[in-house]
Structure 1
Amino acid sequence: MTKELHADILIVGGGLGGVAAALGALRAGRSVIMTEEFDWIGGQLTSQAVPPDEHSWVEQFGITRSYRQLRTGIRQYYRDHYPLTEASRAWGDLNPGAGFVSRLCAEPRVGLAVLESMLAPYIGGGKLTILKPYLPISADVVGDEVKSVTLRHRDSGRTITCSAPYFVDATELGDLLPMTGTEYATGFESQSDTGEPSAPAEAQPDNVQAISVCFAMDHVDGNHVIDKPDNYDYWRSYEPHFWGGPLLGFTAPHPRTLESTTRTFTPNPDDNPLLVDADQRRNPGDGNLWTFRRIAARRNFVPGAYNSDICLVNWPMIDYLDGNIIDASEEDKAKHLKAAADLSYSVFYWLQTEAPRTDGGQGFPGLRLRGDVTGTEHGLAMAPYIRESRRILPVTRILEQDVSMLVHGNNLSKSYRDSVGIGMYRIDLHPSTGGDNYVDVESAPFEIPLGSLLPRRVKNLLAGGKNMGTTHITNGCYRLHPVEWNVGEVAGMLAAHCLNNGLTPHQVQADDAKLQDFQAQLYNAGIEIRWPDVRGY
């Protein structure tokens, strides 16, 4: 028998957008059911194990108040529970991993602990129910309104049907869109459709960014070489036509120039973590792959606490190009996810056995998979890192020419009357399943229009993450951690605002007075909707 539950708002997907949506709705006094298909909430920050990709002004402005509370909470968790050195404990902008990709490289479990602490009071108060690990399998839709979503437990197969006045799709792949009949796009749109300079002449719906299965590792004395993966020889000889060499190697295209670039790999350099300048305007930081996404720098901790740094592998060589999992059959999706994991195991085995060392030797047998850090027995991240989702066909579609510095011609992007947040990141598209190389376009600080969260037709379903109304190209700058959080938080607040005031999302977006009332509510909640003048920063 299928169990039935009801709440004011159902949020399907417990990644950063889903958690933020829950917080936004709960603060407004509404009851929430949030579901998640993996054992950990937090998505790309936790189960996918990816340190936050953030803009250079993140410590000063340009994120929501609650996202800043998350970042502050992670740093405080280290101060409260970890054996930091006195110098690291006193470091105001503590970067536990001293990685160059982010000012806040940390172990996934810490992000999980802080996210759970942010939600805990609402669970205790009976306002929030979290269902995990549950996946959506179907939806009941009448006309232009979603009535309920049925979910299945990942392991037991038992089902639950959840009904609500409002639904937020915060899944990694926009899973509710096909189930609810909501119109959506995938892959590249055509240039004739969007007018984007970087778009192809013809639409390519199956051409999406690579997924990656990340993993954490350290390096200690001894021989920790894993068994040779069954398909190692396939990946060892794999060479994309644009790569400039084998995929399993330290040579790869530079994301911005596309020139063949060789990086280094030096485990446990004796560097001072307090001197790491994680500002990619000054130094992209990927020269030494060990320190690029390092999530624990042993010298941040008292001697003996960590025998090694911990390095998070999200490198070009683990980008899986052999297939697209969006709208694939369950059989094909499972096949591609397994192959992506096999690629990651092959990369790790290559590092242990064949990777060139600076002393002229080969391989680093002291490397160990740290599945204990990522919460898995198999040693890899709990979930694949998803860069691209199904995307709603929205009221307001965000185009390359709205954010591109080359097209827009100044240091601020298009200003939207219905802005509900801000963000900043280069348009950073990874190699794709259609055989494309990196696409990198310099973008300006941008706004998030409310219309990009609203499907054109369906009335009570809101985008809560990467399924918002970008294009394939603008997804490249709207897909990162703080923007996903901002989008989710606004979706949760909008659903609650509509319930509290007898409105619909489309009414709020279309009417200037109603929109301004909602924007004032966002401002009071600490959501910045306009950029300060960042020219000269």
Structure 2
Amino acid sequence: MKEAHTEILVVGGGLGGVAAALAALRAGRRVIMTEEFDWIGGQLTSQAVPPDEHSWVEQFGITASYRTLRQEIRNYYREHYPLTERSRQWRDLNPGAGWVSRLCHEPRVALTVMEGMLAPYRGAGRLRVLQPYRPVGAEMDGDRVRAVRLAHRDNGDEIIVAASYVIDATETGELLPLTGTEYVTGFESRSMTGEPSAPEEAQPLNMQAVSICFAVDHVDGDQTIDKPDRYDFWRSYEPAFWGGPLLGWKSPHPRTLEIVERSFTPNPDDDPLLVDADQRRNPGDANLWTFRRIAARRNFTDGFYASDICLVNWPMIDYFEGPVFEVPDDQARGHLKAAEELSRCVFYWLQTEAPRTDGGIGFRGLRLRGDVTGTEHGLAQAPYIRESRRIKAAYTIVEQDLSLAVRGERGAVNYADSVGVGMYRIDLHPSTGGDNYIDVGSCPFEIPLGALLPQRVTNLLPAGKNIGTTHITNGCYRLHPVEWNIGEVAGLLSAHCLERGTTPHGVREHKDRLVEFQTLLERQGIELRWPEVKGY
């Protein structure tokens, strides 16, 4: 079996993985990064999810390198796309003019930008990307990971990579069971965490829904696909708490659980520069077409886009019939297949049965845009995973640390070992245990270093949703800029420990080492504290 050696191994090439690799490379270290899917970038690319960000993202509250990523996405549009002069001069260009985010864009553009950020290190031979590979085993030396065994997704060829530090940037914390690192899944009990929103008993298989997203546009002609095999099943599927069939415009409001009715009108003749993508003022989901729109045709010269492009990540594609990990492989595969089937049935329903505002039925001009998501089957390459295995950490972030109802005007807990900041409401989607949405107002929060440190294993660091949160606090630590921040810190911490001859736990446990590392983070443009903000 082939064996490779590196200083830092990053397993998983999502946002956290890319950020970790870049941070370690900029610190002068050698890195091998792996990725299971055809595109790096995770949520932003292979999962095709426009960035979910807080209201102050254009001013503060993200890392400097994440700000660079956002700016380079805008620059790419300005340099390569036929924008109208008005849109080209728009400082905070929102190519899709979607209401969910101030930067809605096509996933391939983010992919191109991230590949460009990594390209110099590939050329210099300091970065090797193993793609498409996934982890299948690990070799341990006491409490240290010696090496990770990886298998090619398509042909099964295996390679072992030995490294001084290993970063788990997979979407579901796949290295945790492989390395024997202690972890939790699903809902912790109230006795375990003291959280007001936790259940009385732990529910380890009660996890948030996964979604298989897809992109569509709307053109002339009949684009109707063949009726999916299990369409009749999903067409009649009606969760007890939904207020009607899953395939319909009615669903619970995430914050109030009141049954609300949304609409869908392709290609409204709206002005993209008038879109106010601030969910404090407007959730923006009244017309689902513009909610997660990733290309607004009026941003581009007349006729260049035949239609807007809309990204479908709506309540009706949430699959919560069963978990896609921590169950036997055949069950996990079955649930993923069923999630894909649900998304295809939603698309067919949109084409053939969805009520229109003009009183008609169906939008037969809808097309699946697999060219936008990089697939022939038309859906996203990878499932949108909201919840992962989570390390049993040196410090676990709980609801009481940041809940607006608990903390009030005091704001979220200030951690002495803060390594970043983030902001998002605790936003939990319906789950495999039959729960409805759980939505808890939160304060702008910090990321404690202790949440990145496994209690026992010394050279394995998480770089995403696998940090030490609970099922509840995962709901606000799982979004794009926070994942990037976590990954960047994991990469910098690995490089710093190699340079100083210390360990991640040693950095946290010794005040002078912690201050030195936090100073390094600030020099790299990572914000450790929030300025005073209001209206959240």
**Coarse TM-score class (shorter-chain normalised):** over 0.9
Hey, what does 2:267 align to over in structure 1?
268
Hey, what does 1:278 align to over in structure 2?
277
Hey, what does 2:109 align to over in structure 1?
110
Question: For 2:409, what is the secondary structure of its paired residue?
Answer: coil
Amino acid at match of 1:466: K
CA shift at 1:331, angstroms?
Answer: 1.0
CA shift at 1:477, angstroms?
Answer: 0.2
Equivalent residues in 2 for 1:287-326 (5 A)? 287-326=286-325
Please tell me whether residue 189 in structure 1 is matched to residue 188 in structure 2: yes
- 1:223 and 1:487 map into 2 onto residues whose CA distance is 46
Hey, what does 1:7 align to over in structure 2?
6
- 1:382 and 1:397 map into 2 onto residues whose CA distance is 32
Hey, what does 1:236 align to over in structure 2?
235
- 1:321 and 1:63 map into 2 onto residues whose CA distance is 31
- 1:119 and 1:411 map into 2 onto residues whose CA distance is 41
- 1:410 and 1:19 map into 2 onto residues whose CA distance is 36
Equivalent residues in 2 for 1:138-177 (5 A)? 138-177=137-176
**8 Å Cα contact 1:411/1:535 also seen in 2:** no
Q: Deviations over 1:265-315 (max 9, x none)?
A: 000000000100000011100000000000000000001110000000000
CA shift at 1:359, angstroms?
Answer: 1.4
Hey, what does 1:212 align to over in structure 2?
211
CA shift at 1:411, angstroms?
Answer: 5.7
Question: For 1:484, what is the secondary structure of its paired residue?
Answer: helix
- 2:198 and 2:291 map into 1 onto residues whose CA distance is 30
- 1:173 and 1:529 map into 2 onto residues whose CA distance is 26
- 2:468 and 2:27 map into 1 onto residues whose CA distance is 25
- 2:376 and 2:329 map into 1 onto residues whose CA distance is 24
- 1:352 and 1:409 map into 2 onto residues whose CA distance is 46
- 1:157 and 1:192 map into 2 onto residues whose CA distance is 44
**Sequence identity of aligned pairs in percent?**
72
Q: Deviations over 1:42-72 (max 9, x none)?
A: 0000000000000000000000000000000
Q: TM-score, normalised by structure 1?
A: 0.99
CA shift at 1:409, angstroms?
Answer: 1.7
CA shift at 1:24, angstroms?
Answer: 0.9
Q: Deviations over 1:480-536 (max 9, x none)?
A: 000000000000000000000000000001111100000000000000001111136
- 1:463 and 1:176 map into 2 onto residues whose CA distance is 9
- 2:332 and 2:114 map into 1 onto residues whose CA distance is 29
- 1:182 and 1:475 map into 2 onto residues whose CA distance is 19
Equivalent residues in 2 for 1:470-489 (5 A)? 470-489=469-488
**8 Å Cα contact 1:411/1:445 also seen in 2:** no
Amino acid at match of 2:226: D
Q: TM-score, normalised by structure 2?
A: 0.99
Q: Deviations over 1:64-90 (max 9, x none)?
A: 000000000000000000000000000
**8 Å Cα contact 1:405/1:411 also seen in 2:** no
**8 Å Cα contact 1:141/1:148 also seen in 2:** yes
- 1:102 and 1:199 map into 2 onto residues whose CA distance is 29
Hey, what does 1:344 align to over in structure 2?
343
- 2:453 and 2:345 map into 1 onto residues whose CA distance is 42
- 1:67 and 1:412 map into 2 onto residues whose CA distance is 24
Q: Deviations over 1:310-350 (max 9, x none)?
A: 00000000000111012122211111111000000000000
Equivalent residues in 2 for 1:83-94 (5 A)? 83-94=82-93
Hey, what does 1:362 align to over in structure 2?
361
Q: Deviations over 1:170-210 (max 9, x none)?
A: 00000000000000000000000000000000000000000
- 2:525 and 2:320 map into 1 onto residues whose CA distance is 40
Hey, what does 1:37 align to over in structure 2?
36
Structure 1 pair 536–346 and aligned structure 2 pair: CA distance change class (3 A): closer
- 2:444 and 2:193 map into 1 onto residues whose CA distance is 21
Q: Deviations over 1:8-64 (max 9, x none)?
A: 000000000000000111111000000000000000000000000000000000000
Question: For 1:410, what is the secondary structure of its paired residue?
Answer: helix
Question: Structure 2, unaligned stretches of length 5 or more?
Answer: none
Question: For 2:415, what is the secondary structure of its paired residue?
Answer: coil
CA shift at 1:412, angstroms?
Answer: 2.2
Question: For 1:136, what is the secondary structure of its paired residue?
Answer: strand
Hey, what does 1:393 align to over in structure 2?
392
Aligned residues: 536
Hey, what does 1:404 align to over in structure 2?
403
- 1:446 and 1:126 map into 2 onto residues whose CA distance is 38
Question: For 2:436, what is the secondary structure of its paired residue?
Answer: coil
Amino acid at match of 2:293: R
Amino acid at match of 1:286: D
Amino acid at match of 1:51: P
- 1:391 and 1:82 map into 2 onto residues whose CA distance is 41
The CA RMSD measured in Å over matched residues stands at: 0.7
